[in-house]
Amino acid sequence: MTDLYRLLPEEMEQLVIDMGYPRYRADQILLPLYYKFPKNISELKQLPKEMREKLIEAGYTIGSAKEIHRVVSDDGDTTKLLLNLTDETSIETVLIQYPSSKINGHPRSTICVSTQIGCAMKCVFCATGQMGFEKNIKAEEIVAQVIHFADILQQRGEHVTNLVFMGMGEPMANYDEMIRAVRILTHDRGFGIGQRNITISTIGIVSGIDKLAEENLQIGLAISLHAPNNELRKKLVPTAGPNSVEDIIEAGRRYYKKTGRRVTFEYALMAGINDSSEIATELAILLKGNGSHVNLIPINPTAGDFKRPTQDNVNEFEQILSNAGVNCTVRVEKGIEISAACGQLRTDIIG
């Protein structure tokens, strides 16, 4: 069985030609797939009945993520779904919305997609990391998460504006499927979202960062740093190498040099662990002058025994970085109360 959402437009074109049909039939499949969201091949009414039957006989399907649980934040801006995939495994996907600055504009609608069931990186402060690793998911299952929310938004007269690969799993550890999904989602004959509206987050798999730099894609890169030295980082990220801090900062420099896209370093602030003024100064010295951006994330409640810093501590940490000339912001988290924020995703039903 082959899911049509797995095929790049060029592959779809080759499929219809190999079946003996004219090239334009590919667009008669692609347009409804990415704008009408059919649930099965029989709904592709633009195609001759004979062609639909041939596709089904040849083992082609239209896969979809089946919603089994939905929870919405108190302010209505965040929606978390537990989705059942084609092989009966489940993942969480999140929609985060922000008001548009334009008059009568649509909200900025960001889909936080997952690339794995669980995660093997074992970050001690992340709920997904504490699940352990179950499996990689396929490109079409990544695409299905976006399509599911696109369908929901279309019914509201809205649309997907941004994608972040920051859900469950480490995207670089499922590199080939992740990149196939990105190419489908950004193709002008596919889902058609702008490359610059996508960010891929990694715990710092250097080989993946270097491969991504060679893909000729204008995609944002976010690297989870969380500590300015290797000893502390190893405690927070058990899978980190002995020189991980230096390695990932250098990989970020290479990515910027190759793509021209500024790298963001994500830094989860944990009270009494990595939020002191001394550590902030150490981080400032480390990053000063390298042109990167630091995204400070006060830790979200997870299964671990980690506490958020006080607002004063967060402000002081940010000020130390800013005074040193390091560009930084504090992330405005949404969906914390429904366990939909950074580091909170897992596949048991909560909320």
Whole-structure pTM value: 0.92
- Residue 101 is predicted with a pLDDT of 60
Q: Which residue has the higher pLDDT, 168 or 347?
A: 168
Report the alpha-carbon angle 215-220-226, nearest 5: 120
pLDDT of residue 102: 58
pLDDT tens readout for residues 180-236: 999 999 999 999 999 999 999 999 999 999 999 999 999 999 999 999 999 999 999
Predicted confidence band of residue 344 (pLDDT cuts 50, 70, 90): very low
**DSSP symbol at 304:** S
Q: 3-state SS string over 236-285?
A: HCCCCCCCHHHHHHHHHHHHHHHHCCCEEEEEEECCCCCCCHHHHHHHHH
Catalytic residue among 92, 140, 141, 177: 92
Catalytic one of 112, 126, 328, 342:
342
State the pLDDT confidence band at 41, using cuts at 50, 70 and 90.
Answer: very high
Contact predicate 97/108, CB 8 Å: yes
Alpha carbon distances (Å) from 44 to 4, 39, 47, 317: 12, 9, 6, 55
Grade residue 341 by pLDDT with cuts at 50, 70 and 90: very low
Task: Quick: pLDDT tens for 4-22.
Answer: 999 999 999 999 999 999 9
Q: What are the C-alpha distances in Å from 37 to residues 96, 151, 332?
A: 21, 7, 32
**Cα(288)–Cα(37) distance, integer angstroms:** 47
Strands in 85-219 per DSSP E: 90-98, 108-112, 116-118, 133-136, 162-165, 198-202
Averaged pLDDT, 64-88 = 88
CATH numbers and ranges of domains, the chain: 2-61 (1.10.150.530), 66-338 (3.20.20.70)
Where does the pLDDT of residue 334 fall: very low under 50, low under 70, confident under 90, or very high at 90 and above? low
Q: Is 92 a catalytic site residue?
A: yes
Predicted pLDDT at 162: 97
The band of 335, judged by pLDDT with boundaries at 50, 70 and 90, is low
Catalytic-residue membership of 170: no
What number is the average pLDDT over the span 322-347?
A: 69
